[in-house]
Amino acid sequence: MLRSLLVTILLATPLSHACADLVSLPAQPADVPWPTMEWPVGALPPDMDTAAFSAAIADAFDQPAPGLGETREVVIIRGGRLIYERAASGYSTNMRLVSWSMAKSITQALIGVAVAQGKVDIDKPMGSPHWSADDRRAQIPWRQWLQMTDGQRYLEIEAASIAQSDASRKLFGPGRLDVASYCAGLPLIHDPGTHWNYNSCGIVLTADALTRAIVPNPVSPEQRRAAMMRWMNVSLFDVIGMKAQPEFDATGLLYGSALIYASARDFARFGLLYLRDGMWDGRRVLPEGWVDFARTQGTGTNADIYGAGWWLAPKEGGGRPYPIHVDTGPERDGFSAQGFEGQYTLIVPSKDLIIVRLGMTPEKDLRTGALKDWMGRVARTFPSVATSSVVTE
């Protein structure tokens, strides 16, 4: 009884603080089955820009254009149906590849599931056993960690070298055996809620806090890992038919910020969960408002390109020194999970569209913006669902 009351209170609390101009998330068409087992298949819409689409695909696979690197898998979903897929030689769209930082969006989903289960309140301090009760970092709420407005000093995107990058240091350097301990040691340099900065360590800390909420008293790293894996499968992955394989550190901690392996088709399933407002085959998997929270920018300076665990297309084009957002068309309603070396799961509600691209694009090429522009080129070949019909086979 008490737990049911707690869940009711949590779900009645606004999660998103969402902007009024968010484009509505389309519902799954009544005649389209959910792809829990297999993707229903459709055709490319006849009113799309076929020539521009074919040219973009050729630039990715046939004669790769400068700055795109190696495209390994592409899957496109429209209206809930698989309408296009292609894999490079030696790959398939069912082959698991690494997410890199697309895992951050999955961690955001897992925290949403925990909110729905009454295990987490994102507006309460998250805390860490690595901090004393009077440590200012211990007072930062989950919400600000997820929005990356936590104020912690973290250097990755703008690092001048691998040696300066906290990402490489936590995964391969001094933090490799206990990632949460390394991340908890980084100091604050901004007041929480006032400044956005890309922070993989912040997401590691949310994964650590989530793991402690789900597995509060593990007897060993192996038991911690196994218990967390069971919970993720039962609560999310099995529900949507996503065959995901996350990695854990030596303490049994889910990395959270990176290193989840899944196929392009499975990343598309995850994208569909968000495109459908956290619903799956009649079941609410994510709390109401959770997807709007994901696609609404946080507070403070520099926050216009990021929501909570997802990248946004800023209305004014951004202004950051790195090209991260994806311009999907006039409504600029696309939001995306993105990872190192060019991993993308792009969602465009106005087009009822999901584009997954997996590959290997070197950092120097990513910084040119060519791959971001390519994703936008592909998305813009599709018309809005308000002016087009979805074609089935």
Torsion sign across C-alpha atoms 153, 156, 161, 162: positive
CA–CA distances in Å: residue 233 to residues 16, 113, 246: 26, 12, 11
pLDDT in tens, 263-273: 999 999 999 99
Q: How far apart, in whole angstroms, are the C-alpha atoms of residue 210 and residue 216?
A: 9
Give the model's pLDDT for residue 131.
97
Give the model's pLDDT for residue 316.
65
- One DSSP character per residue, 301-354 reads BTGGGB-SSSEE--TT----SS--S---STT---EEEEETTTEEEEEEGGGTEE
> Which one-letter DSSP state was computed for residue 233?
I
Give the model's pLDDT for residue 62.
96
Q: Give residue limits of the domains in the chain.
A: 22-92+264-393, 96-262
Within 10 A of 38 (CB to CB), how many other CB atoms are there?
10
CB within 8 Å of 290: residues ≥ 6 apart: 15, 16, 112, 115, 278
Strand partners of residue 77: 82, 354
> By CB neighbour count within 10 A (0-12 exposed, 13-18 middle, 19+ buried), where does 244 fall?
buried
Query: Which overall architecture, per CATH, does domain 22-92+264-393 show?
Result: 3-Layer(aba) Sandwich (3.40)
Q: How far apart, in whole angstroms, are the C-alpha atoms of residue 304 and residue 318?
A: 7
Here the tokens at position 328 are 């999907």
146-171 burial by CB neighbour count: b if 16+ within 10 A, else e?
bbbbbbbebbbbeeeeeeebbbbbbb
> By CB neighbour count within 10 A (0-12 exposed, 13-18 middle, 19+ buried), where does 288 fall?
middle
CATH fold for domain 96-262: Beta-lactamase (3.40.710)
Q: How far apart, in whole angstroms, are the C-alpha atoms of residue 130 and residue 141?
A: 16
25 phi and psi, to 5 degrees?
-85, 125
Within 10 A of 386 (CB to CB), how many other CB atoms are there?
9
Rg for the chain (alpha carbons), in Å? 20
Give the model's pLDDT for residue 333.
95
Give the model's pLDDT for residue 388.
63
234 half-sphere exposure, CB direction, 13 A CA radius? 9
CB within 8 Å of 110: residues ≥ 6 apart: 210, 232, 235, 236
CB 355 within 8 A of CB 76: yes
> By CB neighbour count within 10 A (0-12 exposed, 13-18 middle, 19+ buried), where does 32 fall?
middle
Spans in the chain with pLDDT lower than 70: 1-20, 316-323, 387-393
197 half-sphere exposure, CB direction, 13 A CA radius? 21
Q: How far apart, in whole angstroms, are the C-alpha atoms of residue 149 and residue 309?
A: 11
Q: H or E element: which one contains 16?
A: none
Q: What percent of the residues of the chain are helix, what percent strand, and what percent coil, each to the nearest 5?
A: 35, 15, 50
Is there a common fold for 22-92+264-393 and 96-262? Answer: yes
